[in-house]
Structure 1
């Protein structure tokens, strides 16, 4: 039988991505299957690169701009190195939706010409390749967002005059800053999934363990950066979509509060749903890379170009105050206090994540920081509120996008169909419930001042981001640890801690379960399959605490690295 037209269209688009890779960068020999070669990072990908390409691509974003803004490295050589490595990464794990290397190389040449003429960089990101999740519109580049029905259109509309010429606000700002844009990364159709799967690229796997998922929905970003095919990039997060891919791939990533980063002009699912807003944030290999990208975007004053951005420049004084508290704590004066959420009462973390929590808790205690337990307002209520927010339209947007091509919806999508949409009164009532829960959580956090001994409530909350270290396909069952943060609109930074080890991370005999869902999630754990997967955590702060949380996450991440 002839394949459905949507399958043929998806296959053609998939092939076009491969065809956009220069022949000199295409791998000739078959790549071993995941069962024979789980990890394609490190030495495996390095064999296809020159020593100088390895040097460039294994430098973090901050280190790169130190070279490019001083003229020591040319924008062209840096761009070509990352284009090459990104091409390899895609052939390993299917992480790209769009490849526009030629345009990037021309941009890099113009930057080098500018530097030669003026003896100064264009901006703080001069010559820095930056990857983008396939929600951002780039001139001359398609945005499919994983939908077959969006191929050859502007967000599903064939005759929209913005097709091929429109650029998102973030893209405009990155260009002003001197960044070089060169690829867009894979996402799950609808964006509402903890795994990256669609009918164009099929499935994006985890480069550290290709038996597992790279996460979602910014999954292509996580996989690409883990393979060092990008020094840093931007994703979006409505239920964990930056943090999950970052933590699954051993990276840093930040979910800022809504209104801190410009979302104007980006494609989205369920656009206009305002109960829980999707937000933009960077991912990278180091915390300082996130700070570089975050601070640079704020320097463009996005509040003058996006009506939802708050006029809140980067606050150096908060960063300095936090560093001073760190120094005082390590000098023997307990000035920092953290809470630890070992589980949320619904689903327990798998053994690798439980061990990561213990490692971080012990590290913080060794450093002299105060640790308290966390027993906040009911996570069951939080989960119910988030789930209802995500289903306000009864799945109407999902159905509309899939009906454009008639394609099948991947099974991993968490949005379920409902016979009806919520009314204005029902949405208003949900918003009131959410606000009341936010108030409860706020007061609980305030009350921790009675336990910390610092004269302040806890400075941050250490929590799992997901129950598992990466995840087996079709096994992402619980988003409560990440979606809680979106419901509260808190700041959260994820950071790497360790890796799953099948000789250590075993389920204890006679384990008790918190719920029927917990029983199922624990039953999914396979120590041998998870072996080698990154195991990280999230550091949660209150609203608009991005400067403080990035500084604390860098401190914790560096200290944990010394002890693992």
Structure 2
């Protein structure tokens, strides 16, 4: 590059800021050292009408836009304003294209005025996108300085700023308005979001904590209500972790359910444990809305890896019937069976996570559902095997991306700093065989739970931690096992909010006995004073391709616990 990587990063960072209108600038951003909940702080800069719009869920918004009660332009402007404020407080945006979004919204309004009907089920709904999606008119850096002014690090491809990922065609056809792309950790392979372009993405509830990763910009933006719903990706927890850290719902579908065609990625071509795309939002019904809309566009006709599985209403109807019994015991014939993971035997969850598990367990038992302790095959073995694909190429792909600019690698991804041995074709094949065996073993265990339940069915879903703590502190995300086991098995999972940290209740255990040094280190990183008020979330896990069912279960459990 003709300039230093620091100069190139600064120029890009300033270009993003320059796209924020002067009237939307915050003069005195509060210091991060102040433990300010900026989800409340941001409200002073918004009108009453903007607050009403931006604090509505995606499904509430489309009720208004598809009926003509709210114009697409009004809704889009409100979210552009809040997103601009969010970036100044949290460093969560990589690309801003507000003008293009407003122009698209005006076209939607013109269509509605002429035809007296919406373009589609997402008519006028603003949707944010993780910076893996290619969008016409803007670039994709994926957090790499060396990708600035290129197409995935290459120049002269003819795709720069004109190519779009497949899912965008489907979102636009459904009437969605696209207006920004959100921050990621360079490499994508981290549970915190940091890169040399925009710095560290902060948690809006508590800026001393991480927003999660790798869809951390999505988590932060939606968490502060700068977006009603957005799309991220997940290869080791990258949708569910940001959703959990920011008090949101996040769907990790199984591979092949939603289209990934035409998106940028790290280590593209690694097929043992695939990254998947899925939504994050403030409600389970928001996730259902956008997932159904995408499937109505028949993505299997445009992405060869998508299964031809339309939305299956029958799969969720039984669960949705349970909503009528919230507040009372469920009839015996409608009850569900849940497996509960209290610990994976490798790292012990901290006090707030343990309390969340107890809260959910108690609520399910009070409603009459069946609870059993989940005692599956070793998660340590499963995760150790599932981790291998992340280093199949010895880190060459990500090191090559850093070499384009010579930029420094963040501590959070220092795993890739040094040369590692590349796996041979034989070793990759052996890993695939091992993974197949582990998936079969886990499937048989799940099947065997039918003998333990009064329903006569195997356990319907598993309640599990997503991380040992409510959110990671900077450079302290040191254990991924509670999220990656789901990816290794390719199971469907939904993150959901449970409660908030209460420093008077969620105290450190005085008699804790660690499994090993790492277990002790994780416990030591939890400080009730720092974490006070932070979101506490869990995940509901189902078998492969059970998106309809597990979303319905998440919605039911959320209403059962008042979330």
Compute the TM-score of the two structures, normalised by the length of structure 2.
Answer: 0.97
For residue 51 of structure 2, what is the aligned residue in structure 1?
A: 54
- Summarize deviations over 1:310-353 as a string: whole Å, max 9, x none: 00010011111222466689433162000100010000111111
Residue 414 (structure 1) shift: 6.1
In 2, Cα distance between equivalents of 1:459 and 1:151: 46
In 2, Cα distance between equivalents of 1:489 and 1:295: 20
Q: 2:346 is paired with a residue of what secondary structure?
A: coil
Q: 1:327 to 1:55 in 2, by over 3 A?
A: closer
Question: Which of 85, 90, 109 is residue 87 of structure 2 equivalent to?
Answer: 90
- 8 Å contact kept, 2:16–2:95: yes
Residue 38 (structure 1) shift: 2.5
Q: 2:411 is paired with a residue of what secondary structure?
A: coil
- Summarize deviations over 1:199-250 as a string: whole Å, max 9, x none: 0001001000000000000000000001100000000000000000000000
Note if 1:359 corresponds to 2:397.
no
- 8 Å contact kept, 1:325–1:336: no
Note if 1:244 corresponds to 2:245.
no
Q: 1:183 is paired with a residue of what secondary structure?
A: strand
Question: Which of 193, 197, 208 is residue 196 of structure 1 equivalent to?
Answer: 193
For residue 483 of structure 1, what is the aligned residue in structure 2?
A: 484
- 8 Å contact kept, 2:210–2:471: yes
5 Å-filtered alignment, 1:250-399, equals 250-324=247-321, 330-333=329-332, 335-399=335-399
- Summarize deviations over 1:122-150 as a string: whole Å, max 9, x none: 00000000000000000011100000000
For residue 33 of structure 2, what is the aligned residue in structure 1?
A: 35
- 8 Å contact kept, 1:192–1:414: no
For residue 431 of structure 2, what is the aligned residue in structure 1?
A: 430
Residue 9 (structure 1) shift: 0.6
Residue 284 (structure 1) shift: 0.2
Moved more, 416-425 or 128-137: 416-425
- 8 Å contact kept, 1:189–1:197: yes
- 8 Å contact kept, 1:194–1:216: yes
5 Å-filtered alignment, 1:215-234, equals 215-234=212-231
For residue 493 of structure 1, what is the aligned residue in structure 2?
A: 494
For residue 510 of structure 1, what is the aligned residue in structure 2?
A: 511
Question: Which of 156, 163, 168 is residue 165 of structure 2 equivalent to?
Answer: 168
- 8 Å contact kept, 1:192–1:415: no
Note if 1:141 corresponds to 2:138.
yes
For residue 21 of structure 1, what is the aligned residue in structure 2?
A: 20
- 8 Å contact kept, 2:492–2:543: yes
- 8 Å contact kept, 2:322–2:330: no
- 8 Å contact kept, 1:303–1:309: yes
Compute the TM-score of the two structures, normalised by the length of structure 1.
Answer: 0.97
For residue 5 of structure 1, what is the aligned residue in structure 2?
A: 4
Q: 2:179 is paired with a residue of what secondary structure?
A: strand
Residue 34 (structure 1) shift: 2.1
In 2, Cα distance between equivalents of 1:310 and 1:393: 28
For residue 153 of structure 1, what is the aligned residue in structure 2?
A: 150
For residue 460 of structure 1, what is the aligned residue in structure 2?
A: 461
In 2, Cα distance between equivalents of 1:240 and 1:350: 18
In 2, Cα distance between equivalents of 1:483 and 1:173: 29
Unpaired runs of at least 5, structure 1? none
Residue 419 (structure 1) shift: 3.4
- 8 Å contact kept, 1:68–1:128: yes
For residue 531 of structure 1, what is the aligned residue in structure 2?
A: 532
Q: 1:415 to 1:315 in 2, by over 3 A?
A: farther
Residue 383 (structure 1) shift: 1.6
Residue 437 (structure 1) shift: 0.2
In 1, Cα distance between equivalents of 2:322 and 2:181: 39
Q: 1:282 is paired with a residue of what secondary structure?
A: strand
Q: 1:452 is paired with a residue of what secondary structure?
A: coil
- Summarize deviations over 1:517-554 as a string: whole Å, max 9, x none: 11111111111111111000000000000000000000
Question: Which of 69, 72, 81 is residue 72 of structure 1 equivalent to?
Answer: 69
For residue 109 of structure 2, what is the aligned residue in structure 1?
A: 112
| Off by >6 Å, runs of 4+ in structure 1 | none
Residue 556 (structure 1) shift: 0.4
Unpaired runs of at least 5, structure 2? none
Equivalent residue pairs, number: 558
Residue 455 (structure 1) shift: 1.1
